[in-house]
Amino acid sequence: MNKTYNVSGFNIKDVDKKKIIRWVLIAAAAVILIALVSTSFYTVSDKEVAVVTTFGKLSGIKSAGIHFKLPFGMQKAYHVAINEIKSLEIGYRSDTNASILEESMMITGDFNIVNIDFFVEYRISDPVQYLFAADDPESMLKMLIQSQIRNVIGSYEIDPILTGSKEEIQSKIKDLTLTELESYDIGLALVDIKIQDCEPPTKAVSEAFAAVKNADSGAKTAVNNANAYKNAKAAEAEAMINQILENAEYLKQARINEAKEEVAMFNAMYEEYAKYPEITRSRMYYEFIESVLPGVKVYIDASESGTVKLLPLEEMIGGGD
């Protein structure tokens, strides 16, 4: 049934509402069908796997081929290229041919500076850990490698770094990084690491570090000289102490021996005195006079009452015989 209405001078026919509703429903069904089909199937290439989650939880890993999943985001498939070798550049960027000094400039074990660039190859070893163990596993891998690079370079002098130890340095960095990756478990595996370029720093930087090295060498020399002087003086003082102690010990022993001799003489004299007290007293008296008046002639007058008199007659008679 068609009806005509007059709206502002126009005649508008009443369109069949059922037809409009039917076409709207058909269009909506088509959109839903397309969305259903497009979100229910996914394709995995031969270089990757798909990590599937259902309502945000891990539900499986799919290999190459066409696979079905629950539509409308109920299941999600994360494509991870596990059979692809990826690369990192440390110290330079090949696309811009620019040197990144904050990555390449390092201090060696003999306090020199070296600019050294590295080319790193790695791959994804565990797609689940790669997706969910870290927010940015590539950045974490790069930081781990840079840390081990600085540790190894810091243990070498500059000459072997620039000449014949590159293979050894690369091997040490790789082994240390692999050990660190095992502990962090971020789903990445180091394939290889190579020194891309290695050169001494600019002249100004070299001169500055040479000055630092010379100052350090001078400081060490001064310390060594001071220690040598201290050791020499300590040895002299030790020798002087030993000599003083030896002299003191010698004097002590000499005094002891002297005292023993005096005691022995006294004991011997006492024994003689005990046997002949008068004679011993007289002899001791005469010996004393001889020691007090050496070279003086004395005369003994024993005529009066047994008294002994000493008369320096030479002085009285004017000397001479």
Q: pTM surpassing 0.95?
A: no
CA 231 centroid distance within chain = 29
Write out the two tokens for 105.
């400039």
List pLDDT tens digits, range 268-316.
Answer: 777 777 777 777 777 777 777 777 766 656 555 555 544 555 555 455 4
List pLDDT tens digits, range 93-133.
Answer: 988 888 888 888 888 888 888 889 999 999 999 999 988 88
Selection from 285, 301, 290, 307 nearest residue 277 by Cα: 285
Residues 52 and 95 in one domain: no
43 in any annotated domain: yes
What 60-65 contacts at long range (C-beta under 8 Å, 24+ apart), as own/partner pairs, is 61/127, 61/128
Domain boundary among 155, 171, 201: 201
Domain boundary among 34, 50, 80: 80
- By residue range, what is the domain housing residue 228? 214-271
List pLDDT tens digits, range 220-244.
Answer: 888 888 888 888 888 888 888 888 9
Residues 134 and 233 in one domain: no
Query: What is the C-alpha radius of gyration for the chain, rounded to an integer number of angstroms?
Result: 57
Residues 261 and 280 in one domain: no
